[in-house]
Structure 1
Amino acid sequence: MLRSMMFKNVVHYNEHQSVEFSDGFNLIIGRNGSGKSVIFELIRRCMSTRISSTIPSTCGNEKDPAFAICRFTNLERSPCELLSGIFMALEGEKKYFVKFIIYKYSDRLLGCADKYDCISTGGKIKSIGALMASRENVPITDVDALKNYIENGTIPKNIDTFVREIISSFPKSEFDLLSSGEPQSACQLVLYELENFFVATFPMRSIGPSQWTESERVRANWREANEKEVNARAEIIRDLYFPEEGKESTENKRRIDKKLFQDTLDKLTYPNHFEVGGTAHTITINGISLLRAPEGIVEAIQFALIFACNDFKTICLEEPDRGMHPEMVERLRELIFRSEGKAFILISHNISFVSRWTIPKTHVCVSEKVDATPNHKVVSCSNLSYISQRSVKLLTDTDDLKKVLFARRILCVEGKADKIVIEGIFSYLVQHIDDENLRRELNLDPMDIQNISSHQLIELGSCSYEEQIRSCCEDFNVSCRFLLDLDAYVVITKDEKKKATSIAIQGFKIRQKGRFDKFKTLDSFISDPEGLDVLIRLKEIDQTFFWKGGRIEELIVKSLDASEFSAIFTEARYIKHPLSEVEFVSKNAKNELQEFILRGDNNSLLFKTLVMKDEIKRFVEFMKRN
């Protein structure tokens, strides 16, 4: 089965990447456009005799070879350990594409390879041509590095030298030309055996045609055609559940353990029970036509069939959870996690696949820009430092915190009221993005508003995970900001013996911390230019913002004038205007204000009023900065 892969210089992966896979569960996640599907495509190209006509795009220097190498062990064939890979290289001005196999034979390393011409259009290489030449029984010279990688998975110290020596083992000039009537090459024969143990699913596997209310296909006279198309596209079910009917030839027929299939399906769909019936051309589920079956149930059936096929040892599943409810996704995760003898590699955006148990087997695709050019990389959680791994595991305990693994920008807030107010302000800005007066007042352009509102909000609640979140965001290249209450850093301490108070600054790892020791009261700290204002500037460097008034509730009440207050809080019993410090700290007043925000009776008016207040302007300016 597939144990590891390395690749470089393909589709925005400019630097060398290495990924290790294990038995059972392996998860690839990341935001859209971060290169997840590229990994699947490279695996498929390394494992299949079927060559794609499209050529993988390269990045960086065109003269640097683009390559992908997959390492396999415990194969049910001889040799049982081998490397399968592809590379594109230049010879003069001509680029060529090669698929190769390297394997251990006795104490020697041998290889075989196939060369394909690259077809150019308008001076640019557009596609891969037909198989033109091959080589077999090629002696490989760099024995030690290759043996260590094949046998132990040890990554060579110098990857570029390692790959160039592989490429030099298959020079273009020494390939033997194939005649049109010649049988399959040695490389194809090995790949043909290899792909018998491999299967991958793609998003296009959906069996139902997409429809909308304007479509002709929703009319009754299209029903028969829709039924026929659905059954024609249900290849996984047809070929695995009805192998005798599914394919005209007997070639590559797969056999499944139907008891294991039904048991797996029952575990996924409990307490419901579903059975596949009909024929290969009129498939039914519990007697209902496939066209009317829920998508999540169809996905569960397809997974259970692949799971129950003993031939497949390396299984790549892209978005296998489509249409499944969260409970079913968690069952799917546990089935894969406990499986043995197979390597499952999943691509998903579903946070239900992420837990503290699956994190060590999770690989996060990260997208960044270097000199305005996209550059992807893969961050394997098992390769993180011990402290970083602990941080990631802590975040997986809360669904909201898992967003860090998928987001581009996040803003962490302390409580639910904070989250509602900030979401409301962001929403108001987006709704009034064309309001030139508003943009002028806040010094924003439309792009600023889009960037600000694109932050995903994470509610920390009672969790004080600031340092852990910062660590994870740094590892996964996520822009991270915090909106915290003032008391997260400023604490009033009392000395009962001396009958005195003082200001203590906590959670603050800056040398200037001692400069705040002179303040004895909160009022003096806030009013003195060397107090709160200095702390604010220092923390904004650290991408942290807090309200000068202390908490969001204080900001709201103290920012409103009497008429605004009465218009918004029409039924207030405990909140009064103006609000004294003593009144505000009363439990009744605070709870009532939070209740107003959570209930949302006048939130639209509240957000419209707040957005023009000085503290909100300061917050917007903070969010605007890169």
Structure 2
Amino acid sequence: MLRSVHLKNFVGYIDYQVMDFSNDGPFILIGENGSGKSSVLEGIRRCLKLELSTSISSVSDSEKISFFICNIKTDSSRSNDVVLGIVSNPLNSKRNQDGQDEMQNRSGAADINSERDSSGNKSTTKNTIEEYYKFAISNQDKILIDLITLRKSGDETDLEVSASYMLTNENSPITIDKCIETFSNVNDNGKGMEDCIKSILVNLDKASNTSPDKLKEILRTMTEQFVFTFPSRSMAPYQWSESKRHTIEHRNENYEEAVNRCEIINFYYNHLEKFDKGKEKTYFSQVTQGEDDNFEQMVTGESRPKRGRFALIKTPEGILGAKEFSILISSKQYKTLLLEEPERGMHPQFVERMVQIMKKENNNTLVILTTHQKGIITPWTILGTFIFRRSEEGNRIISGKSVLDEEEVVSMKDIRLFTSQHISDIFFARKVLFYEGDSEELFLGELKSQIVNGECLITSRVFTGDASDKLKNSLLEYTFIKMNGEGQSVFYHKVCDKLKLNHLFLLDRDNSNPEEKNDDYHFHWKDGDIESMVLNMCRNNAKLTSDLLKENVISFSSKNNTYQIKSKSKKGKLFLDERINYINIKQSVKLLLDHCEAEDDLAAFIKRLMQ
């Protein structure tokens, strides 16, 4: 099973990153598109694959070493641990055709442009040589290293294993046991690994030559224990009503295509000996709650399924996904499953049952998955979650355990509260606005909708021109989250700080605490709360007051000769009176935005959202 991944200067990751899979799974990779989730899965695949890649993964800094390392545990004995890795070394140089030394550029590549065409002129064809090392450490007795050279000339690509080395305890500058210990250390800051890699590479002249088949033998053994799934990105995700392929004359063609695309299901029925058929049947039924399993008839055509020969064409994507998952998790061979968005098309209850099965099978099969579905983040999976964040300083991977369980100060009660009421949305957010109560929730949701959709006048009166566009874009980036009480703000601030997440707390002002001030992370209503903000806007605006009276939002108290928030309770809360409906709320927020002036507290709050 995969136990840890270590990478540095790999694709968009400038700094050292580590992913620890030694605890109970499943392990969940979340983050916005382009944050590097697929890059990590591709790095794992490249470490394992037997075939030579026709490209080299890009690096962030061509002047520094780049590495991606996988630590694999094959059994309970540490002596059988296997370390696999790929390394690009900027210190390598190539000689061009003029005999001049050239330092390799990005990913260890050297540009060679000295070729001439038949007329003796310099060719415009760009030739490149790229190199990387692929290595395996196994059985604590040897390090096997292949130097892979990739040459490109125009559209032509030629690649080969140009050298194969073997280091042992006799000719290695560092003991094999020490290498495995270093590459398995999830608490390393990356320096120990980099030093170990450099020590190995600079001493390759002391290594003995060997056959590339030795490294392939290890990779073949490891590859058999891993399986990857990924969406068919080359195919359009949707069909449409204008397609001519919906006609009856295309049914046979569509059926054959559907069968061919069900490769996992076809493989299962052709290799039943590799799977636990009883377990597969049980798990498919558990996920789908009794869905008819006619897949064998549908893909083999040996007998007619209940819904007809063409039933496979009409099978929902979620049912197909459930079948493929139940097949893979019941394999006798695969010990690590790496699944990209396995929940695509599934009902939320399907997903919940699928995760339960992953946890049940944790001792037999490690599951690592990517997802964009918030429902997978639960109190029982959040500590196994990795949050991928993208920034100009480089992508980062942050473990849920480091965010919530550092120094073991967070209880399961805190974690359950964190994942309830959509608080776990924070892991998917780019910016977060935290607020306290139901009044704020009703107000803020309508405010965002009206400003973004241009349904109010504030963007033509107070925030105009570029400020209007900036405000709309900023609101679209915000995720609004209701807190479980103001007392939780310290905890949520720590979480956001660890995630390097832009966040703001909208809070009532405690008038008994003169030290309470607005800062980079807190905005307090100047006059106490959101209700006071509304009443203050009415104080010098007769038209706004009259209109809000009509919407049942405020009322006049003859006893106090003042206007107040309409409510049957002593402490009136905005919009919570049972006589106020959605139309009243929508129109009232529009009125407040239309009448807002630059000096109003509402304008000050909106300005903060733009920062």
Task: Please classify the TM superposition score into its range, dividing by the shorter chain length.
Answer: 0.7 to 0.9
Deviations 1:217-239 (A, max 9, x none): 34444333222212111111111
- State the partner residue of 1:47: 48
Cα distance in 1, alignment partners of residues 553 and 391 from structure 2: 52
Deviations 1:563-595 (A, max 9, x none): 434445536398338973777675178368324
Distance change (3 Å), C-alpha of 1:224 and 1:410: same
Is the contact between residue 386 and residue 399 of structure 2 (CA under 8 Å) also seen in structure 1? yes
- State the partner residue of 1:429: 451
Which one of 169, 176, 201 corresponds to residue 167 of structure 1? 201
Q: TM-score normalised to the size of structure 2?
A: 0.81
Matches within 5 A, 1:221-260: 221-243=249-271, 255-260=274-279
Cα distance in 2, alignment partners of residues 441 and 25 from structure 1: 49
1:479 aligns with 2:498: no
Distance change (3 Å), C-alpha of 1:573 and 1:232: closer
- State the partner residue of 1:21: 21
Is the contact between residue 335 and residue 364 of structure 2 (CA under 8 Å) also seen in structure 1? yes
Secondary structure of 2:135's match? strand
Matches within 5 A, 1:146-225: 146-149=179-182, 155=188, 158-170=192-204, 185-204=213-232, 210-225=238-253
Is the contact between residue 415 and residue 459 of structure 1 (CA under 8 Å) also seen in structure 2? yes
Secondary structure of 1:328's match? helix
Cα distance in 2, alignment partners of residues 447 and 255 from structure 1: 57
Cα distance in 1, alignment partners of residues 423 and 71 from structure 2: 34
- State the partner residue of 1:601: 583
- State the partner residue of 1:248: none
Cα distance in 2, alignment partners of residues 128 and 360 from structure 1: 44
Distance change (3 Å), C-alpha of 1:465 and 1:440: closer
Return 269-278 or 165-174, whichever deviates more: 165-174
- State the partner residue of 1:298: 320
- What one-letter code is carried by the residue in structure 2 that aligns with 1:618? A
1:622 aligns with 2:608: yes
1:275 Cα deviation from its structure 2 partner: 4.1
- What one-letter code is carried by the residue in structure 2 that aligns with 1:5? V
- State the partner residue of 1:386: 407
Is the contact between residue 410 and residue 456 of structure 1 (CA under 8 Å) also seen in structure 2? yes
Which one of 480, 489, 495 corresponds to residue 466 of structure 1? 489
Deviations 1:42-95 (A, max 9, x none): 1111111133323211002x1212111111112599973211111112312243
Return 556-565 or 300-309, whichever deviates more: 556-565
Is the contact between residue 146 and residue 161 of structure 2 (CA under 8 Å) also seen in structure 1? yes
Is the contact between residue 334 and residue 365 of structure 2 (CA under 8 Å) also seen in structure 1? yes
Is the contact between residue 484 and residue 545 of structure 1 (CA under 8 Å) also seen in structure 2? yes
Cα distance in 1, alignment partners of residues 153 and 432 from structure 2: 43
1:145 aligns with 2:178: yes
- Equivalent residue pairs, number: 555
1:425 Cα deviation from its structure 2 partner: 1.9
Cα distance in 1, alignment partners of residues 194 and 329 from structure 2: 38
1:321 Cα deviation from its structure 2 partner: 1.0
Is the contact between residue 29 and residue 349 of structure 1 (CA under 8 Å) also seen in structure 2? yes
- State the partner residue of 2:86: 86
Is the contact between residue 314 and residue 342 of structure 1 (CA under 8 Å) also seen in structure 2? yes
Matches within 5 A, 1:408-419: 408-419=430-441
- State the partner residue of 1:524: none
1:381 Cα deviation from its structure 2 partner: 3.1
Distance change (3 Å), C-alpha of 1:390 and 1:467: farther
1:103 aligns with 2:138: yes
Q: TM-score normalised to the size of structure 1?
A: 0.79
Matches within 5 A, 1:304-323: 304-323=326-345
Cα distance in 1, alignment partners of residues 233 and 294 from structure 2: 20
Secondary structure of 2:358's match? helix
Distance change (3 Å), C-alpha of 1:225 and 1:18: same
Distance change (3 Å), C-alpha of 1:328 and 1:128: farther
Which one of 266, 273, 280 corresponds to residue 261 of structure 1? 280
Cα distance in 1, alignment partners of residues 269 and 352 from structure 2: 25
Secondary structure of 2:40's match? helix
- Amino-acid identity (%): 23
Cα distance in 2, alignment partners of residues 166 and 77 from structure 1: 25
Is the contact between residue 362 and residue 381 of structure 1 (CA under 8 Å) also seen in structure 2? yes
1:352 Cα deviation from its structure 2 partner: 2.2
Is the contact between residue 241 and residue 256 of structure 1 (CA under 8 Å) also seen in structure 2? no
Is the contact between residue 378 and residue 419 of structure 2 (CA under 8 Å) also seen in structure 1? yes
Is the contact between residue 544 and residue 592 of structure 2 (CA under 8 Å) also seen in structure 1? no
Deviations 1:239-275 (A, max 9, x none): 123338xxxxxxxxx7111100011111111254534
Distance change (3 Å), C-alpha of 1:545 and 1:598: farther
Cα distance in 2, alignment partners of residues 206 and 267 from structure 1: 32
1:348 aligns with 2:384: no
- State the partner residue of 2:111: none
Distance change (3 Å), C-alpha of 1:209 and 1:483: closer
Is the contact between residue 351 and residue 399 of structure 1 (CA under 8 Å) also seen in structure 2? no
Cα distance in 2, alignment partners of residues 11 and 346 from structure 1: 20
1:350 Cα deviation from its structure 2 partner: 1.9
- State the partner residue of 1:376: 395
Secondary structure of 2:350's match? helix
Distance change (3 Å), C-alpha of 1:569 and 1:474: same
Return 475-484 or 582-591, whichever deviates more: 582-591
1:336 Cα deviation from its structure 2 partner: 0.9
- What one-letter code is carried by the residue in structure 2 that aligns with 1:570? K
Which one of 330, 351, 354 corresponds to residue 332 of structure 1? 354
Structure 2, unmatched stretches of 5+, are 94-102, 109-130
1:401 Cα deviation from its structure 2 partner: 0.4
Secondary structure of 1:166's match? helix
1:334 Cα deviation from its structure 2 partner: 1.5
Deviations 1:117-166 (A, max 9, x none): 133568xx998834333234655431153142467767476232122123
- State the partner residue of 2:442: 420
- What one-letter code is carried by the residue in structure 1 that aligns with 2:133? V
- What one-letter code is carried by the residue in structure 1 that aligns with 2:448? F
Cα distance in 2, alignment partners of residues 218 and 596 from structure 1: 51
Cα distance in 2, alignment partners of residues 206 and 322 from structure 1: 16
Is the contact between residue 552 and residue 584 of structure 2 (CA under 8 Å) also seen in structure 1? no
Secondary structure of 2:420's match? coil
Cα distance in 2, alignment partners of residues 230 and 117 from structure 1: 39
- State the partner residue of 1:548: 526
Return 149-158 or 326-335, whichever deviates more: 149-158
Cα distance in 2, alignment partners of residues 216 and 172 from structure 1: 66
Secondary structure of 2:343's match? coil
Cα distance in 1, alignment partners of residues 280 and 605 from structure 2: 56
Secondary structure of 1:601's match? helix
- What one-letter code is carried by the residue in structure 1 that aligns with 2:407? Y
CA RMSD of aligned residues (A): 3.6
Is the contact between residue 533 and residue 602 of structure 2 (CA under 8 Å) also seen in structure 1? no
Is the contact between residue 299 and residue 312 of structure 2 (CA under 8 Å) also seen in structure 1? no
Is the contact between residue 166 and residue 208 of structure 2 (CA under 8 Å) also seen in structure 1? no
1:398 Cα deviation from its structure 2 partner: 0.8
Cα distance in 2, alignment partners of residues 588 and 574 from structure 1: 14
Return 611-620 or 166-175, whichever deviates more: 166-175
Cα distance in 2, alignment partners of residues 570 and 582 from structure 1: 14
